[in-house]
Amino acid sequence: MSKDKKESVIESSIKRKYKLQANDVKVWYDDFMAIKGISMDIKPNKVTAFIGPSGCGKSTFLRLFNRMNDYVDGFKMEGEINIDGSNINDKDINVELLRKQVGMVFQKPNPFPKSIFENVAYGLKIQGLKDKAFLEERVESSLKQVALWDEVKDDLNKSALALSGGQQQRLCIARTLAVEPSIILMDEPTSALDPISTAKIEELIYKLKDKYTIVIVTHNMQQASRISDNTAFFYLGELIEYDKTNKIFTNPEKEQTENYITGRFG
């Protein structure tokens, strides 16, 4: 192997150690700078929590990883976002495939006004997959992964809108899993749910990291400390501190982090 080739192989294997990478990322909405130069590496098969006061850029930053900001008026970014070592803003990136690889779960459960079955099968059907046995099998395995199967297996043709909020959110996670992403972005996925549904989703997230890389924005400090491996504290468009969750919550380096986690502002 030539020296150059060897070096590029080494470089790409270093990059691949991290599932997601941001290099000096800056974001503007028109003239307003929402992200002020953030670099960060996110490890595979871990849960990474984004915390920080409202308006500090958590959602903006999260949405960069599946290019959900692309259609926002006035949005502009600089810097690089890499997934598995590839720059996802390159011209030849297929954004549909990217979003299949990087699924997203939102704050408010947003099932389609369709049956439970159709909700989970939706992403597969738009990919042109039609085989009934395959769809049935994938719907069942996805619903099992979110521990919803036993609750709905006799009602697959009922409207998803008839489910409780917590069930709807688990359904939305099942819909995301059905297309087999490797990364799941979650933006405050339990903030509209009751404590029992929240506990179920937390348990689920903890379990899912065996197969997926999960990034979760949360307002709830206890939630971040319960379910995440690493925590990133954002403030006014900057990444202030990023470390093992235990360290952030027991012995943070920065005063701003300490003030936030002890509830002095936010």
Ligand X SMILES: Nc1ncnc2c1ncn2[C@@H]1O[C@H](COP(=O)(O)OP(=O)(O)O)[C@@H](O)[C@H]1O
Q: Return residues touching ligand X (CB under 6 A).
A: 29, 32, 34, 52, 54-60, 72, 74
Helix (H) and strand (E) counts in the chain = 11, 10
Shortest distance in whole angstroms from residue 55 CB to ligand X: 4
What is the radius of gyration, based on Cα positions, of the chain?
A: 19
- Which residue has the CB atom at the shortest distance from Mg ion? 59
Distance in Å, CB of 68 to Mg ion, minimum: 12
User: Among 21, 48, 59, 167, which residue sits at the site for Mg ion (rule: CB under 5 A)?
Assistant: 59
Which partner from the list Mg ion, ligand X, none does 57 bind, CB cut-off 5 to 8 Å by kind?
ligand X
107 or 164: whose CB is closer to ligand X?
107
- As measured in angstroms, the least distance from the Cβ of 63 to Mg ion is 9
Q: Which stretch binds Mg ion (CB under 5 A): 31-39, 57-65, 97-105, 143-151?
A: 57-65
| Smallest separation, CB 176 to ligand X (Å) | 19
Task: Count the site residues for Mg ion by CB under 5 A.
Answer: 1
d(CA 44, CA 6): 24
Tokens 């900057």 map to which residue? 238
How many C-alpha atoms does 4 have within 13 Å on its Cβ side? Answer: 0
Q: Cα–Cα distance between 249 and 242 in angstroms, integer?
A: 11
